[in-house]
Amino acid sequence: MGGRETLLEKRRDDYGTLRITENRDGYRYLYFGELTEQSCVLTADPAWLAYDYTRAMLLGNFWVAPQAEMMLLGLGGGALANSLVAHFDPRRVGVVELRAEVLALARHWLGLSDDPRLQVRIGCAERYINTAAASSDLLFVDLYMEGGLSRLQLQADFFRKCQQALRPGGVLVINQWQMGDTGLPYAAAMLADLFGDQFLQVQVEEGNILLFVPAQGEPPLVLDRPAMHAWAAGLQERLGYSLQPYINNLHRARDALATHQAD
């Protein structure tokens, strides 16, 4: 989604510089610092997801019922929150965002939805998750700073509390970076120790690896590709893109780890 970008606004807060740019194709970008492209929004449809990794995160909806209580740790530009509100019939989409200026920019420039079901609070994800036991059906963890992964995304206790924040039948969706070209997330060994063989993962073109983890004490997530393909086909026209490629590449996380250890 190239083309020269025009700077629309630049702000600073306690965590660094934030920039909003726009290209001639109608895409707007949120940057952390000068180089870290954090979010992309299509101005004509702010609920349309531009990145593969955010599209893949939508797979978490397959395992939860309509009218789910959803929570996002990290707002970014707000496209994922917009998509959840517009297309998946949630009871509520809560968001915890560390930076008030990110929220302000998302509202002013990036078309953040004003649907009353979308409720954003400014605060620390770690502090929130410490008091959030059994509160969500679908919990998305997408915590990044200008330099990359938030420290929380490398801490076992944080992910343990995220899993405990799920209601029975709930699903935790984690956006991790790939460790080199291994096909494994940065925290692969830790995640395997925490979640055993219960969880699924999918790698996308940008290099991100998305993890899908069931609630504590629940059986492993069922990988039923025919059912998932039928579900995705019903969404395709509304979303404007297909989720089928991510379903095709979805697999047990233990399989990727075993392959890497064998090599």
Does residue 25 belong to any structural domain of this protein? no
What crossing angle do the helices spanning 79-87 and 225-239 adopt, rounded to 10°? 100
Q: Which of 90, 73, 170 minimizes the C-alpha distance to 128?
A: 73
User: Is 34 part of any domain?
Assistant: no
How far apart are alpha carbons 192 and 257 in whole angstroms? 8
Confidence of residue 35 (pLDDT cuts 50, 70, 90): confident
Q: What is the pLDDT of residues 91-105, one digit of tens each?
A: 999 999 999 999 999
Q: What does the mean pLDDT of the chain come to?
A: 93
Q: Decide which of 236 and 254 is more confident.
A: 236
d(CA 179, CA 232): 29
The CATH number of the domain where 70 resides is what?
3.40.50.150
Q: Is residue 61 part of a domain?
A: yes
Domain membership flag for residue 71: yes
**Residue where the block lists tokens 């707002």:** 75
User: What percent of the chain is predicted at pLDDT more than 70?
Assistant: 96
Digit-coded pLDDT (tens) for 158-203: 999 999 999 999 999 999 988 888 888 888 889 999 998 889 999 9
Q: What is the pLDDT of residue 260?
A: 52
pLDDT tens-digit profile of 108-144? Answer: 999 999 999 999 999 999 999 999 999 999 999 999 8
What pLDDT shows up at residue 54? 97
Counting beta carbons within 10 angstroms of the beta carbon of residue 91, is it exposed (0 to 12), middle (13 to 18) or buried (19 or more)? exposed
pLDDT at 163: 96
Domain-located, residue 73: yes
**pLDDT for the residue 178:** 86
Q: How many domains does the chain have?
A: 1
Structural domain boundaries enclosing 57: 45-262
Considering the domain boundaries, does residue 110 fall inside one?
Answer: yes
Indicate left, alpha or beta for 55 from its phi (over 0: left) and psi (-120 to 50: alpha): alpha
**Does residue 21 fall inside a structural domain?**
no
